[in-house]
Structure 1
Amino acid sequence: MSNPSNPSNMNKIVLLEKIHASAVENLRAQGFENIVQVPRALSGPELIETLSDAAAVGIRSNTHLTGEVLRALPKLRTIGCFCIGTNQVDLNTAAAMGIPVFNAPYSNTRSVAELVIAEAILLLRRIPEKNARSHAGRWDKSAQGAYEVRNKTLGIIGYGNIGAQVGILAESVGMRVCYYDPESKLPLGNAKPLPLEELLRSADVITLHVPGGPTTVNLLNGERIGLMKPSAVLINASRGGVVDIDALNASLREGRLAGAALDVYPTEPKSEKEEFITPLRGLENVILTPHIGGSTEEAQENIGREVSDKLARFLAAGTTRSAVNFPEVAHQAKEVLSRILHVHRNEPGVIARMNALFAEGGLNIVAQHLQTKGALGYAITDVDSPISPELMKKLCSDSAAIRCNMV
């Protein structure tokens, strides 16, 4: 349980890893001035020290907020992942501490989808090989093994926002589209669902768009890569752990696969100064990009605005809509004198005890919003009267309270 935060601390926001300037512009436009920008990822004691008095932190993919780090940051109230993935944050510990985590699930969709289609065209035309040979002074005009994408089959593994957008773009250049997803998904365009093994056997291009986590580690292992046609190519712009790199390396070097494009890797450098190591380096039929699927000016600007808006709305009004680990309460502008945000264990009697304290203090509740998610409950209470420090102390001291703040 935490005590109400000091207002000066509530507004401190730390942004790491070169988050786009649109985030700072948006936050300042909404009245947040205490913003600290750090142009790189941090870890260990340095990370904890930098965030020690922050109410909010914005990160990308290289800063890891582990349970140990989060437990050392009792003043931290919310986290913004300025990217799609959130596996760099211990979501369970964050939820248990009453910290909602936000991300940007849609803002870089188009950028990633365009990269995938571009790589599919380049690989099927064998452009990476031709490019490397031309740079080496070799004039290789052979058409052998080079194909148009028209009438080729694109197999999408993971038919979420990005996967579906890839399918639409693929159809626009004449490809046939099939997809596999463990959940039932409505197909867009002429895409059709297939079992995973059938998709692997039939597709000319396989592209992965699945989340990270234990259920997708080595989803494409040696056995499944072996089901692909020798003329097929593989693209991974999702998570580094979903492809068995050693198995892929063996298939490419033995000619059992025509090519590959990877934007994500099981282990990635933490900075530009660290060497990028992968067994796929040096292969002419492989495109290696440094996790830039969403690295366009448009995507980063959109992500900056989207996630900063979510952080600002939470800090100013308690809004948790689209939080990935937290009960979702829609945005309601604060139009009363006092708003109390109460995070608690989801058990009987909490709201009754809370409201009894308001009644005891002679306070009228103007509005109250409650949502639960698993073991967690979240209540926003609006009161058109001042809230005394004594009442806040009682609210925060409830046996089920996890965190209690006033905005």
Structure 2
Amino acid sequence: AAAKRGVPVFNAPFSNTRSVVELAIAEIISMARRLPEKNAKMHQGVWDKSAKGAHEVRGRKLGIVGYGNIGTQLSVIAESLGMTVYFYDIADKLAIGNARRCSSLEELLESVETVTLHVDGRSGNHGFFGEEEFARMRPRSLFLNLSRGFVVDHAALRSHIESGHIAGAAIDVFPREPKGNGEEFVSELRGLSNVILTPHIGGSTEEAQQDIGEFVSGKLVDFAEGGATSMSVNMPGVALPSAPGTHRLVHLHQNVPGVLATINRVLADHGVNVEGQLLRTRDDLGYVITDIVPAYSDEVLDQLRAMDVTIRLRTIESE
């Protein structure tokens, strides 16, 4: 709806990457040392000083499912802690450092002692990880999901935790989440030992929020001042370097053949010289930026706006 009105939407897909990675590392170490259980007992007044079931993460095998921005950075930090990293991704991704690429999810699950999910929110990932996948994991493995709540079958996860097959889990996202603070959180995973439940806070650090604000506001400034739509989530991505002494025409239109030719014909008919031009399309939208000499008549703009396919026309004066 925003795109059809010429309004770009921006997010900050990289700004909270470090925050998510640090939470994953903290939870891996916490579960390996069984800190959730130790902490709960201490609050109950129980002193349980024992090494049983507590392990270092150095030397353990970490399996990363989804080797994107978060997965790759997690891979680097995990290696620096002495972990051996395996990863699986449906896309052909280059391994970072000494990470080992698995040809299938099954291969990864059978190879590692800790599995962490960092997949995207595409509809095909609904129910991606369930009973069959948990059963393939090695006995006494650890499991993390900091990606999307609908990816994991929580009933199957509870069953495998209760049986002891899964030694610990850390879950930050859920199929059904409260709409606001104070509302009761309902989940099959409540009350389980060595299970860390967090309220979707993977990217919720002050540093990440600061970076998100700066990144997105910068993108909005770029759009307002130069029409740039790079990394927009709903419009074609276009960024044309500014040309001093020109005026910029920013034309959003329906993606049909011949639009660029029509725009240039209008300019040519009025003797307007083009200094620079760039067109990109996305689905049913087309977006073209054209830098022209400042001398042109209002009739040029009137004709461009009057085109049947025009959604929005902006003019920007370069400094």
Q: Calculate the TM-score normalised by the size of structure 1.
A: 0.73
Q: Tell me the residue number matched to 1:56.
A: none
Equivalent position to 1:118, from 26, 45, 54: 26
Q: Deviations over 1:154-179 (max 9, x none)?
A: 00000111101111111111111000
Distance in 2 of aligned mates of 1:264 and 1:299: 18
Please state how far the C-alpha of 1:97 moved relative to its aligned partner.
4.8
Equivalent position to 1:203, from 89, 112, 117: 112
Q: Tell me the residue number matched to 1:88.
A: none
Structure 1 residues 377-386 or 208-217, which shifts more? 377-386
Distance in 2 of aligned mates of 1:140 and 1:352: 77
Please state how far the C-alpha of 1:334 moved relative to its aligned partner.
6.2
Q: Give the aligned residue type for 1:100.
A: P
Q: Tell me the residue number matched to 1:235.
A: 144
Change (3 A) 1:245 1:97: farther
Query: 1:60-99 maps to which residues of 2 (within 5 A)?
Result: 70=1, 94=3, 96-99=4-7
Q: Tell me the residue number matched to 1:273.
A: 182
Q: Give the aligned residue type for 1:309.
A: G
Q: Give the aligned residue type for 2:83.
A: M
Q: Tell me the residue number matched to 2:273.
A: 364
Q: Give the aligned residue type for 2:166.
A: L
Q: Does 1:286 align with 2:164?
A: no
Q: Does 1:259 align with 2:205?
A: no
Q: Contact 2:32–2:56 (CA<8 Å) still a contact in 1?
A: yes
Please state how far the C-alpha of 1:280 moved relative to its aligned partner.
1.3
SS at match of 1:260: strand
Distance in 1 of aligned mates of 2:44 and 2:65: 36
Q: Deviations over 1:3-24 (max 9, x none)?
A: xxxxxxxxxxxxxxxxxxxxxx
Query: 1:215-364 maps to which residues of 2 (within 5 A)?
Result: 215-333=124-242, 335-336=244-245, 338-364=247-273
Q: Tell me the residue number matched to 2:37.
A: 129
Please state how far the C-alpha of 1:223 moved relative to its aligned partner.
1.2
Distance in 2 of aligned mates of 1:362 and 1:309: 35
Q: Which sections of structure 2, spanning at least 5 residues, go unmatched?
A: none
Q: Calculate the TM-score normalised by the size of structure 2.
A: 0.91
Q: Contact 1:319–1:332 (CA<8 Å) still a contact in 2?
A: no
Q: Give the aligned residue type for 1:161.
A: N
Q: Does 1:155 align with 2:40?
A: no
Please state how far the C-alpha of 1:121 moved relative to its aligned partner.
0.6
Change (3 A) 1:313 1:193: same
Please state how far the C-alpha of 1:109 moved relative to its aligned partner.
1.6
SS at match of 1:251: helix
Q: Tell me the residue number matched to 1:10.
A: none
Q: Contact 1:321–1:331 (CA<8 Å) still a contact in 2?
A: no
Distance in 1 of aligned mates of 2:87 and 2:194: 25
Q: Tell me the residue number matched to 2:13.
A: 105
Change (3 A) 1:297 1:257: same
Count, aligned residues: 315
Distance in 2 of aligned mates of 1:292 and 1:331: 37
Distance in 1 of aligned mates of 2:298 and 2:178: 48
Please state how far the C-alpha of 1:235 moved relative to its aligned partner.
0.8
Q: Deviations over 1:313-339 (max 9, x none)?
A: 012211122223432222523634532
Q: Contact 1:208–1:237 (CA<8 Å) still a contact in 2?
A: yes
Q: Tell me the residue number matched to 1:398.
A: 307
How many percent of aligned residue pairs carry the same amino acid? 50
Q: Deviations over 1:219-258 (max 9, x none)?
A: 1111111211231111111111111122212222332211
Equivalent position to 2:73, from 158, 165, 177: 165
SS at match of 1:287: strand
Distance in 1 of aligned mates of 2:121 and 2:31: 25
Q: Contact 2:63–2:109 (CA<8 Å) still a contact in 1?
A: yes
Q: Contact 2:58–2:83 (CA<8 Å) still a contact in 1?
A: yes
RMSD (CA atoms)? 2.0
Equivalent position to 2:89, from 181, 186, 192: 181
SS at match of 2:110: helix
Distance in 2 of aligned mates of 1:241 and 1:97: 32
Q: Deviations over 1:297-323 (max 9, x none)?
A: 222222211111111101221112222
SS at match of 1:283: coil
Q: Give the aligned residue type for 1:145.
A: G
SS at match of 1:249: helix
Q: Contact 1:233–1:259 (CA<8 Å) still a contact in 2?
A: yes
Q: Contact 2:240–2:278 (CA<8 Å) still a contact in 1?
A: no
Q: Tell me the residue number matched to 1:20.
A: none
Distance in 2 of aligned mates of 1:125 and 1:351: 62
Distance in 1 of aligned mates of 2:82 and 2:150: 31
Q: Tell me the residue number matched to 1:384.
A: 293
Q: Deviations over 1:37-70 (max 9, x none)?
A: xxxxxxxxxxxxxxxxxxxxxxxxxxxxxxxxx3
Please state how far the C-alpha of 1:388 moved relative to its aligned partner.
5.5
Q: Contact 1:259–1:285 (CA<8 Å) still a contact in 2?
A: yes
Structure 1 residues 198-207 or 251-260, which shifts more? 251-260
